[in-house]
Structure 1
Amino acid sequence: MIDDLDRIMAVMEVAFDPQWGEAWNRRQIEGSLVLPTTHYRLLGSDGQSPADGEPAAAFALVRAAPGEEELLLIGVVPEERRRGLGAQLLEILCEDARARAADRLFLEMRENNPAQRLYRACGFHPIGRRKEYYKTSDGMRIDAITFAKSL
């Protein structure tokens, strides 16, 4: 698991813009991974699970609850974006969630996140809003939008 944690953190460091404060630190990831309800997936640049010692190009972290799952984080290294890895990873997460008997997959994101196009294209629909939920590094407040996808 240490190797996978290192790979997750390597993607995290380059995939998340510090302006938005969305990246988790190593301790947060490590703490979530010890919980039996937290699951993750890694993809290499070829769209397959990376072999031992190979870097990851994308990762996702989900939390399972009875009948539903929540996408906590998803990241793709910048040089691999717009090649379908995000959509592929979301489909894998949906398959995994179905296998764990989940009926819906949820996620929450800041309103101005460009990944919103990807989520909508993959069948997610907005179901709620939290006013001024996110705070940027310069103090600006941005609404959060909750999305769901029926599985």
Structure 2
Amino acid sequence: MTADIHIATARVADLAAVMRVMDAAFDPAYGEAWSGAQLLTLFALPSARVRVAWDGERPCGFSAARIAGPESELLLLAVDPDYRGGGVGSLLMDDWQLWATGQGADEYFLEMRADNDAVHLYRRSGFSECGRRPAYYRGNDGVLRDAVTMRRVRDCGKAD
């Protein structure tokens, strides 16, 4: 399924496409989706990057990440529900880490809600839990959920 998917750096003109994926991918009960204004701030930061996965003219996923010295953080990753399980998330994860490595990072971090099914994608990408914040997220449903911090260290002895 991913053979026809291409990933490109998002431009401000792509904000509506990113927001379409965000709206489709994030369940409003959890309150995790960012606003368009929040995303726009990333376009102004030289240390941040937003990438969009496209299936032809249709956006099917995106990632947002930032770099700080030898560390990079995945801020958001979303895949349109119609494309889940088809490898788009893995493409975006690989794309992020390749960019971060090229920027000098050798540690990669992300944070997620403890009951997020994306944990399987992150574990397949080499991430493991390195911290937990109890009752950190309060969803729009009123339920408190732990935040899980995950980390991956690049093996400097082999090419990524």
TM-score, normalised by the number of residues in structure 2: 0.86
TM-score, normalised by the number of residues in structure 1: 0.91
- Specify which of 24, 40, 43 is matched with residue 30 of structure 1: 40
Spell out, residue by residue over 1:29-86, the C-alpha distance to the aligned partner (whole angstroms, 9 max, x if none).
Answer: 00122111111111113xxxx6xxx231110000110101100000000001100110
- Specify which of 1, 5, 14 is matched with residue 4 of structure 1: 14
Secondary structure of 1:39's counterpart equals strand
RMSD, aligned α-carbons:
1.1
Q: Partners in 2 of 1:4 and 1:148 — Cα distance?
A: 29
Q: 1:16 aligns to what?
A: 26
Stretches of structure 2 that go unaligned for 5 or more consecutive residues are 1-10, 155-160
Q: Partners in 2 of 1:89 and 1:25 — Cα distance?
A: 21
Q: 2:131 aligns to what?
A: 128
| 1:43 has 2:46 as partner | no
Q: Partners in 2 of 1:111 and 1:145 — Cα distance?
A: 6
Q: 1:73 to 1:33 in 2, by over 3 A?
A: same
Q: What letter matches 1:140 in structure 2?
A: V
Alpha-carbon contact 2:12-2:43 (below 8 Å) kept: no
| 1:108 has 2:118 as partner | no
Q: Partners in 2 of 1:125 and 1:138 — Cα distance?
A: 28
Stretches of structure 1 that go unaligned for 5 or more consecutive residues are none
Paired residues in the alignment total 144
Q: What letter matches 2:33 in structure 1?
A: A
Percent of aligned positions with the same letter in both sequences? 40
The structure with the largest strand share of the pair is: 2
